[in-house]
Chain A
């Protein structure tokens, strides 16, 4: 793992009316790593990703991707630069087939539909969707398949950095293990850097090289998974203060 900084977030702030969802958050994502982004509900994890990917315009601060200032740019520009994401809630293209949805992602880097389709097929097989499912409509597949197709659709845009927003939410334990293996494979074999927002501790602690903890819109702490898990601040943020 090299130590080159892929994404740098400097003093990022985002307010919604009177609520400060992100309060001067600064953090880095290093090329090649899997960074776990954790924190209790309302900590600002998804807001952070929305500000980075251009869904929201931040109220203050900077987002630097490979040294380039991409703060407040349009989502399609940021996608072209190489940042992709999946969503907590599955968002399939209901009336497009599995292969079409992923092909649409691959079309970011080529305008040749046949070539994009071949790439889509490879990526779908890579994440474990069998060819027999390629022509099934988005609305007719199971939850775990949705998660994998959403993942494939994001990978198809050939990102350098991919955010996964609660990718294992709602899955059974053995399905969580399937996703964990795929995510590690995406990181190691495809060389895609990952930012993993997650509530399922067993999953995120297992796959992450490093963890950042957000709490009430601020960066609480960061470090190796084992260190973070023992950090009294983190325990307090999740469980509240120890009763005397």
Chain B
């Protein structure tokens, strides 16, 4: 039986909303890689850790998960800064293999920690102020998904503004292009790295809060978010915000359609297959410049 066009439309819409949240998830990873050249394999696991934290906080404070970002964002900034100082800074300028081993290690520590504390059961927050549907005739809009999409877009554009219009942003971009020249222009590259890594991790705290308004926490979402965000960045071609948003939405829609039309069990596989096919034709990513 063919699925109805309404179902497909609904699925695309949900995919677009999910895509916006993915862009927020990928933003921190993209910043850290773009500025510091560090591939943070633990990125997804920070989203996982954040999701559990939000689950605990929202349930014990009996409040909406999205409001927990007031706690997760500053807390994760601090955690990110501490991890930068203790773990990332010592391996800066070392071989990529060492850097990979270090961040993969952080990811596994977080994952095992979650398995130990919460076991492998998925957890969701029961309380949400936004857990209802608005019927628009052809499709219905889940308010939590809509809100998380809008907030994600707002933050992504906000970070874009920060990078292009403020002195910190110019310093960050100058550091990304040539850290030696940046330092000779009086930019404290060490401070910029601390700031960028802290910001990158704090954005996972925010993304986790938004994810938990409709999603679930389990110890393995870190791996799937980690790889999904990498696919998004590679598709986007590490360019600007427009590439990031577009590739996030593409991945979100593909994933959503796969869940609706094929099976939820392959919703991670299909985006990768599409990704690999894209790379055959455009190795620089969809929006990267050759």
Contact = CB atoms under 8 A, between A and B. Distances in A.
Interface of A: 53-55, 74-76, 78-80, 84-85, 87, 91, 93-96, 100-101, 103-105, 107-108, 111-113, 116, 153-154, 156-157
Interface of B: 165-167, 170-171, 173-174, 177-178, 180-189
A105 B185 contact: yes
Contact of A96 (B167, B173, B184, B187): B173
A94 B239 CA distance: 12
B188 A107 contact: no
B177 A79 contact: no
Given A113-B165, A116-B167, A93 B186 contact: no
A123 to B, nearest CB: 13
Contacts of A91: 178, 181
A105 B171 CA distance: 9
A130 B167 CA distance: 24
A96 B185 contact: no
Contacts of B189: 76
Nearest to B169: A113
Pick the most buried of B165, B177, B182: most chain A CB atoms within 10 A of its CB.
B177
Contacts of B188: 74, 76
B166 A113 contact: yes
Contacts of A93: 173-174, 177-178, 181
Given A91-B178, A96-B174, A104-B174, A157 B185 contact: yes
A113 B167 contact: yes
B227 to A, nearest CB: 27
B179 to A, nearest CB: 10
Contacts of B187: 76, 104, 108
Nearest to B174: A104
Contacts of B181: 87, 91, 93, 153
A104 B170 contact: yes
Contacts of A116: 167
| 3 closest cross-chain pairs (CB), A and B | A108-B186, A79-B186, A75-B183
Contact of A107 (B167, B180, B184): B167
A62 to B, nearest CB: 20
Contacts of A75: 180, 183-184
A108 B185 contact: yes
Contacts of B173: 93, 96, 100, 104
Contacts of B167: 107, 111-113, 116
B166 A55 contact: no
A84 B167 CA distance: 19
Contacts of B174: 93, 96, 101, 104
A111 B165 CA distance: 12
Nearest to A83: B184
Contacts of A76: 183-189
Contacts of B186: 76, 79-80, 108, 157
A74 B170 contact: no
Pick the most buried of B173, B184, B185: most chain A CB atoms within 10 A of its CB.
B184
Nearest to B172: A104
B180 A104 contact: no
A78 to B, nearest CB: 8
B170 A103 contact: yes
B27 to A, nearest CB: 18
Pick the most buried of B171, B178, B181, B189: most chain A CB atoms within 10 A of its CB.
B181
B183 A107 contact: no
A79 B184 contact: yes
A55 B173 CA distance: 20
10 contacts: A53-B184, A76-B184, A79-B186, A85-B184, A93-B174, A93-B177, A108-B187, A113-B170, A153-B181, A154-B184
Given A93-B174, A104-B185, 12 more contacts: A74-B188, A76-B187, A76-B188, A78-B184, A79-B185, A93-B178, A103-B170, A104-B171, A104-B174, A107-B185, A112-B167, A154-B184
B37 to A, nearest CB: 15
Nearest to B239: A95
B162 to A, nearest CB: 11
B183 A79 contact: yes
A95 B185 contact: no
A135 to B, nearest CB: 13
A116 B173 CA distance: 16
Contacts of A101: 174
B177 A95 contact: yes
B30 to A, nearest CB: 14
B187 to A, nearest CB: 6
A101 B170 CA distance: 8
Contact of B183 (A74, A94, A112, A113): A74
Nearest to B185: A105
